[in-house]
Homo-oligomer: A and B are copies of this chain.
């Protein structure tokens, strides 16, 4: 799988940056190190001054790439969901059987990312943790509707659409494919968070994965005779 990735670039809405960070060494290191630092400090304590110090660059130079840290978070998470969509499509495209296809999709979305694919300066393992801990902060804002109109959440929505389409194919009678897709996407992040911080609120742990829990959930919900 790795080799094919070499030639692929994840597209991100270009309104999310002032200057494309992929277009220069500094830009790439802003993205690379912001992922490391946001993971270490959390979104609130992370800022451009600290990032500048760490990469040996000037705060003002970072502002030439990203308007502010909110936009940077949107960029990072958009990249992540775009990457996830690619992973999903790649992993499922040759599966014809609807159940197996959906099952694989759920696995791709709910698994813990454990190895960096190394095809770019972006570490997906670290980025996965940022998504778990910070993603909801990117849309739980007063600006969400405007930003949605600008297409800032497009990659997430595309992914959700693909998943709900697979649900529809598997069980055309099920009435809530979009809601279920959202529950899988949101629920996976939430279960990963709970297993790390609120273990009493979940059965998930080292042995029982969010994948296992959510796979069981989805296939018990779907294809029932009493979808009423």
Contact B142 A45 (CB under 8 A): yes
Q: In the bound complex, what is the Cα–Cα distance between A201 and B184 (angstroms)? A: 12
Q: In the bound complex, what is the Cα–Cα distance between A152 and B208 (angstroms)? A: 27
Q: In the bound complex, what is the Cα–Cα distance between A134 and B142 (angstroms)? A: 11
User: How many Å from the CB of A111 to the closest CB on chain B?
Assistant: 16
CB-CB under 8 A from A181, the residues of chain B are: 201
A44 at the interface (CB under 8 A from B): yes
CB-CB under 8 A from A194, the residues of chain B are: 179, 182
Interface residues of A in 158-194 (CB under 8 A from B): 160-161, 175-183, 186-187, 190-191, 193-194
CB-CB under 8 A from A41, the residues of chain B are: 142
Contact B157 A178 (CB under 8 A): no
Q: Given A182-B194, A186-B187, A187-B187, 15 other A-B contacts at CB below 8 A?
A: A44-B141, A133-B140, A136-B136, A144-B197, A157-B200, A176-B217, A178-B203, A182-B202, A183-B190, A216-B227, A216-B228, A217-B221, A220-B222, A220-B226, A221-B221
Residues of A within 8 A of B (CB): 41-42, 44-45, 133-134, 136-137, 139-142, 144-145, 148, 153, 157, 160-161, 175-183, 186-187, 190-191, 193-194, 197-198, 200-204, 208, 213, 216-217, 220-222, 224, 226-228
